[in-house]
């Protein structure tokens, strides 16, 4: 969660720095970046203030509560002990993924992380379920009309994922996503989505860390992963 110091700078995880911690500054060496001030009392005001990441230069918007006292009755930011009420954009730590994970699945996973960072936990839970579904499809587990439950069970039966992963895939990813897609509205706790993301990451590691070994295992089980469904590369004849 973003924090603010007495100098008025904000420390937060920056999306432009791949989720690394960074300092967002409110001014350059010569001038402030700007703010809209809302005075709600004689000695209190809220400031919608622009910030800039000291690492990548990405902009940010902070809502800062400033209290003026008789001894500190100045209009100069940050005053004494500014309180941060909100900050955007802020992300969470990005989980590492194997290099062999298909780009579309990576994008889906990152979107789930973005939804979670924005507090959209139901959307994030649905996206994590989608990551699992697309991952199993990419590995040959959607040959007809199998449900996601059947795909998970088949992957475990083939030894592609462990029984422990199977249980987590059902309980922490599939069921959580189904609650969003098929049940009445209910709040989804952020920590439940965190667990879902972590286990989705581990399943991706199982399938893509040592891809050649997994491909051999899939083929022996009669599965047809995406790599085997791509059209063969056409080599032009000499002199063409």
Of the segments 70-84, 178-192, 198-212, which one has the largest average pLDDT value?
Answer: 198-212
Residues 188 and 108 in one domain: yes
Residues 124 and 213 in one domain: yes
Examine residue 98 and state whether it is found in any structural domain, yes or no.
no
Examine residue 232 and state whether it is found in any structural domain, yes or no.
no
Write out pLDDT tens, residues 130-174: 999 999 999 999 877 789 999 999 999 999 999 999 999 999 999
Residues 31 and 136 in one domain: no
Residue with tokens 């209009």: 75
Examine residue 233 and state whether it is found in any structural domain, yes or no.
no
Burial pattern 166-204, b for ≥16 Cβ within 10 A else e, equals: bebbbebbbebbbbbeeeeeeebeeebbbbbbebbbbbb
Q: Secondary structure of 110-144 in the HEC alphabet?
A: HHHHHHHHCCCHHHHHHHHHHHHHHHHHHCCCCCC
Query: Cβ–Cβ contacts within 10 Å for residue 12, how many?
Result: 23
List Cβ neighbours of 124 (8 Å cut-off, separation of 6 or more).
Answer: 112, 113, 115, 116, 188, 193, 197
pLDDT at residue 193 greater than cutoff 60: yes
Examine residue 27 and state whether it is found in any structural domain, yes or no.
yes
Residues 71 and 117 in one domain: no
Rounded to an integer, what distance in angstroms lies between the CA atom of residue 238 and that of residue 233? 15
Write out pLDDT tens, residues 99-134: 999 999 999 999 999 899 888 999 999 999 999 999
Residue 152 is part of which domain span?
103-222
pTM: 0.73
pLDDT at residue 94 greater than cutoff 90: no
What total number of domains does the chain contain?
2
Residue with tokens 């809220």: 46
Q: Which of 239, 173, 226, 224 is nearest to 200 (CA)?
A: 173
Examine residue 154 and state whether it is found in any structural domain, yes or no.
yes
pLDDT band at 47 (very low <50, low <70, confident <90, very high): very high
Assess contact for 110 and 93: CB atoms under 8 A: no
Look at 60 and 91; give whichever has higher pLDDT. 60
């Amino acid at each position: 969660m973003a924090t603010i110091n007495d100098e008025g700078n904000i420390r937060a995880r920056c999306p432009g720095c791949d989720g690394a911690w960074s300092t967002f500054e409110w001014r350059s060496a010569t001038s402030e970046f700007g703010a809209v001030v809302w005075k709600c009392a004689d000695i209190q005001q809220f400031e919608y203030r622009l910030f800039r990441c000291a690492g990548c230069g990405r902009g940010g918007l902070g809502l800062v509560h400033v209290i003026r006292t008789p001894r500190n009755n100045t209009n100069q930011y940050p005053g004494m002990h500014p309180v941060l009420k909100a900050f955007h954009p802020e992300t969470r730590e990005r989980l590492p993924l194997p290099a062999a994970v298909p780009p579309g699945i990576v994008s889906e996973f990152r979107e789930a992380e973005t939804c979670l960072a924005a507090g959209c936990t139901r959307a994030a839970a649905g996206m994590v379920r989608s990551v699992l579904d697309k991952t199993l499809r990419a590995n040959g587990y959607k040959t007809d009309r199998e449900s996601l439950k059947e795909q998970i069970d088949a992957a475990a039966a083939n030894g592609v994922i462990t029984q422990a992963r199977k249980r987590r895939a059902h309980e922490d990813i599939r069921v959580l996503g189904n609650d969003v897609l098929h049940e009445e509205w209910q709040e989804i706790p952020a920590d439940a989505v965190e667990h879902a993301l972590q286990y989705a990451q581990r399943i991706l590691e199982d399938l893509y860390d040592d891809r050649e070994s997994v491909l051999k295992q899939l083929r022996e089980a009669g599965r047809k992963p995406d790599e085997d469904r791509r059209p063969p590369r056409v080599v032009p004849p000499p002199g063409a």
